[in-house]
Amino acid sequence: MIVADFSMIPMGSGTSASRYVKAIHELLKNSGVNFVPNPMSTSVEVNSFEELFQFIEAANQKLEDMGVQRIVTNIRIDRRMDKEISIDSKLKAVGR
Amino acid sequence: MIVADFSMIPMGSGTSASRYVKAIHELLKNSGVNFVPNPMSTSVEVNSFEELFQFIEAANQKLEDMGVQRIVTNIRIDRRMDKEISIDSKLKAVGR
Amino acid sequence: MIVADFSMIPMGSGTSASRYVKAIHELLKNSGVNFVPNPMSTSVEVNSFEELFQFIEAANQKLEDMGVQRIVTNIRIDRRMDKEISIDSKLKAVGR
Amino acid sequence: MIVADFSMIPMGSGTSASRYVKAIHELLKNSGVNFVPNPMSTSVEVNSFEELFQFIEAANQKLEDMGVQRIVTNIRIDRRMDKEISIDSKLKAVGR
């Protein structure tokens, strides 16, 4: 399992991004991907890079369909070969 | 108010980072800064850049005191001039 | 065209990462992707998300083959719908 | 020495950011900080966290003075205790 978080910043579309974030969360719900909204990003857990990247592309495409002309995406990816990880295991490891 | 998230990755100190993350959360608790642990990062809300950066330095120093020889810190900072933001307001805006 | 930069941080493999960065640059050379090494990251220009993500996966796999047990990847992606961009156009826009 | 890179994304100020990036580079030149413009970020080398953070705040302030209403800043910071690093040493280590 790969755990990642991402933020997508629309440029040229005003200072508020909440409608875009909500649309991306809707996409995640429909895709069945396990995710958690954070104050600065959205965390996801996926089985493969392919799954992660298909989603990132679909989310960019969604914002483009909503009229966004430039998107800056930032992704952090944690991949461990020495043990299984998940959103839950990572939160438990730090006592949440 | 400034909302930010950060991750600190120790290099050369094994594959597990949970003891370092816990030490940093302990620092945050003692400092009175409002924070939320996320799967891939920690979110904080601060009144100024100075408050944010003093904490980032203190956290790096803490890891150094624990023996870490190299630290890669990644920070995302959201600063709005058009409205007040907080960890809560950002989570509510996306429906959490 | 999509312009992106990425860093890959090996955990549990010592404090030096230069042999891993060189191996990734070798991969990039062999793949024909246009790239620039930066002090903190590597910039690439690609035609599609698919091209970017295949490379990110291949680079993670390369580090895994070299024995790395945990990899934290950080990616920034710039995608514009309003104009063509490239590594060169972005550098020229800021006067380099 | 600390080596870092940062990007600052103005929201609600159109899709082009080059005038803001140039203004920040002008600040860096005037401050005497050693920096390198990259396609996706600007790299700096500084003697302390304080120097880095004062600059980040000054750059945010500059964009605010130019009318930007929301700024998302992303910073990667490399701090080594085991050896001296600089922009040059990091580029040389990977063969540039």
Q: What is the pLDDT of residue A32?
A: 92
Q: Provide the whole-model pTM.
A: 0.97
- The pLDDT tens digits of the residues spanning A30-81 come to 999 999 999 999 999 999 999 999 999 999 999 999 999 999 999 999 999 9
Measured between beta carbons, which residues in chain A are less than 8 angstroms from residue C76?
72-74
Q: What is the pLDDT of residues B27-86, one digit of tens each?
A: 999 999 999 999 999 999 999 999 999 999 999 999 999 999 999 999 999 999 999 999
pLDDT band at A95 (very low <50, low <70, confident <90, very high): confident
Chain D residues touching A7 at Cβ < 8 A: 72
Cβ distance of C12 and B9 shorter than 8 Å: no
> Is residue C61 exposed (0-12), middle (13-18) or buried (19+ Cβ within 10 Å)?
middle
Question: What residues in chain A have their Cβ under 8 A from chain B's Cβ atoms?
Answer: 3-5, 7, 15, 18, 21-22, 25, 36-41, 43, 45, 74, 76, 78, 80, 82, 87, 90-91, 93-96
CA–CA gap between residue C12 and residue D31 (Å, rounded):
37
Please report the pLDDT score of residue C64 as a whole number. Answer: 97
Q: Please say if the pLDDT value at position C78 is more than 80.
A: yes
Q: Average the pLDDT over D33-38 and give the result.
A: 95
Looking at beta carbons, which residues of chain D come within 8 Å of C96? 37
C-alpha span between C25 and C63 (Å, rounded): 12
Task: Say yes or no for a CB contact (<8 Å) between A70 and C57.
Answer: no
pLDDT of residue B82: 95
| D5 has pLDDT over 80 | yes
**Nearest beta carbon to residue B69 from set D52, D76, D80:** D80
C3-32 burial string, b = 16+ CB within 10 Å, else e? bbbbbbbbbbbebbbeebbeebbebbeeee
pLDDT at C39: 96
**pLDDT value of residue C95:** 80
ipTM score assigned to the predicted complex? 0.96
Looking at the predicted structure, is the pLDDT value of residue D17 above 80? yes
Q: What pLDDT score does C83 carry?
A: 94
Please identify which residue in the block is written with the tokens 């755990």. A3
Is the pLDDT at C94 greater than 90, yes or no?
no
pLDDT digits (tens, 9 = 90+) for A60-70: 999 999 999 99
- What is the average pLDDT across D49-67? 96
Q: Please name the residue of chain B whose CA is at the shortest distance from the CA of residue D49.
A: B57
* Average pLDDT in chain D: 95
Residue A81 class from Cβ within 10 Å (0-12 exposed, 13-18 middle, 19+ buried)?
A: middle
Inter-residue contact D53 to D18 (CB < 8 Å): no
